[in-house]
Amino acid sequence: MPVVTFSAMGRENCVEVAGVPYVYARTAQGAFVMPATCPHRGGPLHLAGITPEGNRLVCPWHERKVSLGRLRKEIPAVRRGDLVTAVIPGPADARTILRHRPLSADLAGEP
């Protein structure tokens, strides 16, 4: 599994590993690294809203709900200053690319 370091916000806040994008999200339930695409249809999960209960993300394409608890446990990560280091699923030699992806207001806040 590749260990990658990328920006927690702003430019290059997304790392693509083997073509799969990941972002650092900040919610009232905590901060974590998550896939930027919905597991159901590949929608832009980085633009998701949070349910009124505060425990699920809602995909903006088809309104499928994804558990925040599950996402928070999926990818081990640590933040130091403006950088995040995460252990991303995939082959250790997977190609990584830094990009920018906007985050919804629900995912861009400080916990």
How do the pLDDT tens digits run along the chain, 111 residues long? 899 999 998 899 999 999 999 999 999 889 999 999 998 888 999 999 999 999 999 999 988 899 998 888 999 999 999 999 999 998 989 999 999 999 999 999 865
Residues in the chain: 111
Number of domains in the chain: 1
Q: For residue 60, give its domain range.
A: 3-108
CATH of the domain at 77: 2.102.10
Closest of 60, 57, 54 to residue 111, by C-alpha = 54
Q: In 73-103, which positions are buried (b, 16+ CB within 10 angstroms) versus exposed (e)?
A: eebebeeeeeebebebeeeeebebeeeebeb
Which pTM was predicted? 0.92
